[in-house]
Amino acid sequence: MLAEELAKGIKLLVLDVDGVLTDGGLYYDKTGQVMKRFHVQDGLGIKLAQAAGLEIAVISGLDSPAVEKRIRELGISDYYPGFNDKLPRLEELKLKKGIEYRQMAFLGDDWVDARPMQLVGLPMAVANARPEIKGLARWISTATGGNGAVREAIDFLLTCQGRKELLWKKWILSDA
């Protein structure tokens, strides 16, 4: 089945963080605190997905206060930091949301994302993902992680579901 067909049934997009929501770099300030760089278009894409009824969850291998702050700013309530084994959290999301794996998409970039990508209905990868991850993906962004890949994935899902055009019409007619 084509990725466009698979996308039609997706209710939940699960995101990795480092290398997907960020560029994967670890930036340290002079006190040793880790800083992260996020792309604003990814953030607006997440807000648009939420407005369209597409749920977003985040499972990260690392636990970072900077990431938690950004996740909370975006209104993502399903955030699971510090889990290299992402399968238990994916199962938890499946039960919590009352959906099947086939109704989930997962956007990843590295080996820690391989197992969830093998279960979901639409495995997705960023352009600079490891070759093995790209091999598992049914859809690959043209943008790299941290540089609009999340927005591109959301645009793809919403377009395939026939929701993007309606969102755009509402956006240009609103006083947002």
Task: Supply φ then ψ for residue 122, to 5 degrees.
Answer: -135, 95
List pLDDT tens digits, range 46-82: 999 999 999 999 999 989 999 999 999 999 999 999 9
* Pairing between β-strand 12-15 and β-strand 104-108 as defined by DSSP bridges: parallel
Residue (of 134, 60, 121) closest to 94 by Cα position: 121
> In sequence order, what are the residues at sequence separation of 6 or more whose Cβ sits closer than 8 angstroms to the Cβ of residue 80?
57, 58, 59, 60, 86, 89, 92
CATH code for the part of the protein at 3-173: 3.40.50.1000
The whole-number pLDDT of residue 60 equals: 95
**Residue ranges of the domains in the chain?**
3-173
**pTM of the entire predicted model:** 0.94
**How much is the pLDDT for 176?**
54
Q: Cβ contacts of residue 174 below 8 Å, gap of 6+? A: none
pLDDT in tens, 9-43: 999 999 999 999 999 988 899 998 888 999 999 99
